[in-house]
Structure 1
C-alpha cells in the first residue's frame, strides 16, 4: 500500500470510529422514515375521507371550529391535503405543544386529534434530526457527523477503486460463496460503492434542510451566482398595521385560498400559513401533488385588507429556488415516486450497515494481527530454547 493510501486508510478508519454510531442511527431512522406516508395511510383510517361533490368548507370556519373546542389554541397552519383526504389544523396548545386536528374538509367535523409528540414517525424524525438532544445541540452533532460520513464515503471510494482492469469485474460483485469474513468485506466495499452517489445526495439535501448556508450555497450555484432580488427573503412581504384602509369584507384566509385555487386549478394540496412568527402576511402554497412539496406556487396577502402582495409562480422561480424547494422530496426519496423511494430506502439501509461491516473488518484484522504476533513469539521462543539445549545450557 502506498504512503498516500495509508494516510487515506488512517483517515477512513478513525473518522469511522468517531461518527459510526451516529451515522448508524441517522441512517436507520432515515430508512424507516422513507415510507412513513404509505405506512400511516395503511394503519390510520383518519388519513382518508370520502370524496363529495361539494366545495371545501372555508378555512376561517375550520379555525372557528378549533377555537370553539380549544379557545386557547392557535391554529396557525391549515392544510387541505386533497379531495380524498382530510383538512388539518396544526395548532399550538401552549405547554402541551403542537397538536394536529383533522377535520372533514366538506363538513368540518373533527375526525381525529393527535399530539405530535406521540406520533411514532415524528419521534423517528426527531431522532434523525437531533438524536433527541436539544435541537441547537443535536443539529450540530448530526450535521458534523454527516459531513464526516461524506468524507468517509469519498476516502472509501479511493481505497476500494481497483488498479487493474482485470480486477474490476470481481470488485463490483459480492462473492457470496466465500467465507463469511470475505462476504462481510465485499458487503462493506461493493455495497458502499453502489450507495456512494445516492448517499452523497441524501447527505447534501439533509444538510441543506438543516443549515441555511448550505441551502444558500445550493441556491447560488444553481443560479450561477445571480442574486435574484424578487426571491430575497429580506423582501418578503409584510402587512402594514398602519394602513388598514379598505378592510376585507370576508376573512382574508378565505380570500387567499379562493385566489390560490383559481390561479392554480390543478393543485391537489394547499397550505395556508398565518403565523405571526413567520410572516406578517397570510400566505398560501399550492402544491401539484398531495404530500409532495416540490413545484409549488405561492401567494402572499395583506392580512388586513386581503390585497395580493406577492406571487411566487412556479414557472417564474429561479433554478436555485426550485432546487431548494425540492430538497425535502429528494431527501426522503419521493421526488420520483415509488422507484426513488425504494432507492433512498436501500441506500439508507446500506449506509446503516457500513459502520457495522467496517467495524467487523477492523476487528478481524486486529485479531489476526494479535494471533500472528502470538505465533511469531512462540516460534522465536521455540528456536531459542532449541539452541540452548544444543549448547548444553
Structure 2
C-alpha cells in the first residue's frame, strides 16, 4: 500500500471509529423518516381519508363552523383543500387555547407557527440567512402552521381527527435524527458527524479503487458462500462502493441543513437575496368594520386560476394589515413545497403580488431541495425506497468496518506473538 493510501486508511479508520455510533443512529432514524408521510397516513387513515360522497363539498365557512364547534375558542390560521375527493380538509389553528374540546395541548404562537412552517418548507427560520420577517403569514408547505391541525370531512363537516405536530411520533424521531433534543449543541454534533461522514465516504472510494485492473471486477461482487470474515469484508467494501454516491448526497444535504453558512454561501454564489421580502400589506379598508374577503371567494378564485392543482392552501392574515396568502401545487411539481404563491388584499380580494415556483430566487429553490433530496422524497416513492435501502446499508458500514479493524488487529497481534516466539 502506498503512503498516500495508508494515510487515507488512517483517516478513514479513525473518523469511522469516532463517529460510528452517531452514524448508525442517524441512519436508523433516517430510515423511519423516509416514509414518514405514508406511514402516518396508513396508521391514521381515518384522519386523512374519507369516502367520497355524491353531495357537494361544504363551503369553507361551514368547515370553519365545524372547527369552532369542536374547539369554541380556536382561531383558524389556514385551510388546505385537496383536489382528491377522498382527502379531508386540513385546518391549521393559529393559536388554539389550551383546554378546548379535544385539545391536543399547548397553543402554537404565531412566531412558533412561522418558524415551524418555514423549516418544513426547507427555508431558514426567521433571523437565518435568506429570509426576513413576514407580516402576512409567509409560510411554506401549503400554509401549514406549527399549532394543532384539525381534519374535517368535506362532505359532512365531521371532525375526523386532530394532530399537534410537536407531539407527533415522527416529529420526535426527526428531533432525535437532527440532534435537536440537545438544542444547538446536538445540532452541531450532528452537523460535524455528517461532515465526517463525507470524508469517510471520500476516503473509502480512494481505498476501494484497486491498483491492478484484474482486481477491479473482484471488488464489484460479493463472494457469497465464503467465510463470515470474507462476507463481512465484501459487505463493507463492495456494498460500500455501490452506496457511497447516494450516501454522499444524503450526507451533503444533511450538512446543508445543519449549518447556516451553507445557505449563506449558496445565496452568495447564486446572487440570491440574503433575506426574503416581507409579505405585502392589505390596503386600509374603506369605512370602519369593512368585511374581509371570504375564504370561499379566495378558494373559488384559486380554482379558477389553477383548476388542475393538487391542493390549494389559504393562509389567513394574522392582523388587520396582513394579506391572504394562497399557495397552489400544480401537477408534476418537483416537491410538495414547489408551490405558486399569490397574496391577496384581505378586504378587496385584489391580487397584491404573486410568484411562481420558477420565479423564486435560485438560492431559495436550491435550499428548498435539501430536505426532499435528503429524505428521498424528490421523485416520490422510488427515491424514498432507494433512500431507505441506502440508509439501512449506511447503518451497517460502521459495524462491518469496526469488525474488519478488530480482525486486522487480532491478526497483527498474532503475528507479533509468533515472531516473539521465533526470536
TM-score interval, smaller chain: 0.7 to 0.9
Q: Which residue of structure 2 lines up, in the alignment, with residue 51 of structure 1? A: 52
Distance 1:45 1:166 in 2: 54
Structure ID, larger Rg? 1
Are 1:146 and 2:194 an aligned pair?
yes
Deviation at 1:255, TM superposition (A): 4.2
The alpha-carbon distance between structure 1 residues 157 and 274, as it changes in their structure 2 partners (threshold 3 A), is farther
Are 1:174 and 2:225 an aligned pair?
no
The alpha-carbon distance between structure 1 residues 177 and 304, as it changes in their structure 2 partners (threshold 3 A), is same
Q: Specify the SS of the correspondent of 1:133.
A: helix
Native 8 Å contact 2:148 2:165 kept in 1:
yes
Q: Specify the SS of the correspondent of 2:91.
A: strand
Structure 2 alignment gaps of length 5 or more? 99-104, 107-146
Deviation at 1:63, TM superposition (A): 4.1
Q: Paired residue for 1:155, among 189, 203, 206?
A: 203
Distance 1:368 1:280 in 2: 71
What aligned pairs does 1:326-337 form with structure 2 within 5 A after superposition? 326-337=369-380
Q: Paired residue for 2:151, among 102, 105, 112?
A: 102
Distance 2:60 2:263 in 1: 32
The alpha-carbon distance between structure 1 residues 366 and 137, as it changes in their structure 2 partners (threshold 3 A), is same
Are 1:133 and 2:182 an aligned pair?
yes
Deviation at 1:213, TM superposition (A): 3.6
- TM-score using structure 1 length: 0.82
Native 8 Å contact 1:104 1:110 kept in 2:
yes
- TM-score using structure 2 length: 0.77
The alpha-carbon distance between structure 1 residues 261 and 248, as it changes in their structure 2 partners (threshold 3 A), is farther
Q: Which residue of structure 2 lines up, in the alignment, with residue 243 of structure 1? A: 284
Q: Deviations over 1:236-260 (max 9, x none)?
A: 32326x8344786444544443333
Q: Paired residue for 1:113, among 162, 166, 191?
A: 162
Deviation at 1:294, TM superposition (A): 4.5
The alpha-carbon distance between structure 1 residues 210 and 237, as it changes in their structure 2 partners (threshold 3 A), is same
Q: Specify the SS of the correspondent of 1:335.
A: helix
Native 8 Å contact 1:269 1:290 kept in 2:
no
The alpha-carbon distance between structure 1 residues 90 and 359, as it changes in their structure 2 partners (threshold 3 A), is farther
Q: Specify the SS of the correspondent of 1:300.
A: strand
Q: Deviations over 1:139-166 (max 9, x none)?
A: 2222221111111111111111112222
The alpha-carbon distance between structure 1 residues 302 and 336, as it changes in their structure 2 partners (threshold 3 A), is same
Structure 1 alignment gaps of length 5 or more? 381-393
Q: Which residue of structure 2 lines up, in the alignment, with residue 194 of structure 1? A: 242
Distance 1:334 1:320 in 2: 20
Are 1:85 and 2:133 an aligned pair?
no
Native 8 Å contact 1:12 1:152 kept in 2:
yes
Deviation at 1:352, TM superposition (A): 1.2
Q: Which has the larger helix fraction?
A: 1
Native 8 Å contact 1:293 1:325 kept in 2:
no
Q: Deviations over 1:325-382 (max 9, x none)?
A: 33333222222233212211111111111111111111212222223223333333xx
